[in-house]
């Protein structure tokens, strides 16, 4: 079994949760692949699809925006996925980059609305891409969700309802934050879930 760790927005393959996951999984003899997702969404999908094809016995572990992509790719391929405070509507949450900065009437699809710390220049047209690729949860039994209800960035309650209504298992923990600062105490659960979804 291989874990493919998908980092979030303003993050990278060496993010804290990515390294904690990889280091703990290694103690169990499990390899972790950590792709750099700081690129347009169609390229992200192509990159993850190639990794899934090369590693058929894999589990996607996605944090925040990585959780969106993990769900999308699970919908597309049936690959198991574990989601950490996942984003479910990037087309809506990314609109925070438009406030006070842009007049939407003058924006073109090629207008850069935000540049991530990893160098991805998010275009106004990317919002339309996300809107055209909604999550449908085709494989609810292959997905597990870990939520911190104190998430200050995304609406954890909306996320909980979305996945639970689809029949997905959600572990909702009181308090916490979007970055999941106590992840070092959560990683055993995450990797145990990964193992359980591949056997």
Q: Per-domain residue ranges for the chain?
A: 2-89+137-197
pLDDT value at position 101? 66
Q: What angle is formed at CA 13 by the lines to CA 10 and CA 18, rounded to 5 degrees?
A: 100
96 token code pair = 């925070």
Integer CA distances (angstroms), 73 to 46, 153, 185, in order: 10, 23, 27
pLDDT value at position 106? 81
The model's pTM: 0.96
Give the C-alpha separation, 186 to 21, whole Å: 10
pLDDT value at position 199? 66
Secondary structure class of 198 (helix, strand, coil):
coil
- Residues 109-126: pLDDT tens digits? 999 999 999 999 999 999
Integer CA distances (angstroms), 113 to 20, 87, 101, 127, 149, in order: 31, 19, 8, 10, 28
pLDDT value at position 170? 98
Give the C-alpha separation, 174 to 68, whole Å: 22
Give the C-alpha separation, 60 to 21, whole Å: 12
146: left (phi over 0), alpha (psi -120 to 50) or beta: beta
10: left (phi over 0), alpha (psi -120 to 50) or beta: left
Is domain 2-89+137-197 given the CATH code 3.40.50.1820 in the classification? yes
b/e string for 155-185 if b means 16 or more Cβ within 10 A?
ebeebbebbeebebebebeeebebbbeebee
Question: Residue 184 carries which DSSP code?
Answer: H
Blockwise average pLDDT, block size 10, the chain, 199 residues: 97 97 98 98 98 97 98 97 98 87 80 94 95 96 98 96 98 97 97 92
119 token code pair = 């160098």
Report the run of H or E that residue 71 belongs to, with start and end: helix 65-77
Residue found under tokens 């979305």 = 162
């Amino acid at each position: 079994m291989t874990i493919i760790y998908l980092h979030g927005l303003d993050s990278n393959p060496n993010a804290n949760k990515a390294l904690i996951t990889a280091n703990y999984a290694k103690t169990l003899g499990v390899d972790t692949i950590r792709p750099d997702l700081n690129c347009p969404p169609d390229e992200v999908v192509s990159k993850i699809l190639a990794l899934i094809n090369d590693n058929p016995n894999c589990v996607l572990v996605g944090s925040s925006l990585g959780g969106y992509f993990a769900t999308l790719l699970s919908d597309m391929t049936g690959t198991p996925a574990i989601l950490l405070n996942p984003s479910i509507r990037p087309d809506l949450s990314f609109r925070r980059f438009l406030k006070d900065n842009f007049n939407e009437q003058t924006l073109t699809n090629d207008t850069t609305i935000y540049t991530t710390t990893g160098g991805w220049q998010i275009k106004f047209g990317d919002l339309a891409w996300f809107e055209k690729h909604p999550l449908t949860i085709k494989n609810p039994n292959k997905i597990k969700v870990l939520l911190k209800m104190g998430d200050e960035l995304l609406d954890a309650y909306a996320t909980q309802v979305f996945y639970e209504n689809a029949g997905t298992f959600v572990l909702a923990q009181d308090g916490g934050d979007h970055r999941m600062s106590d992840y070092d105490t959560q990683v055993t659960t995450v990797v145990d879930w990964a193992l359980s979804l591949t056997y």
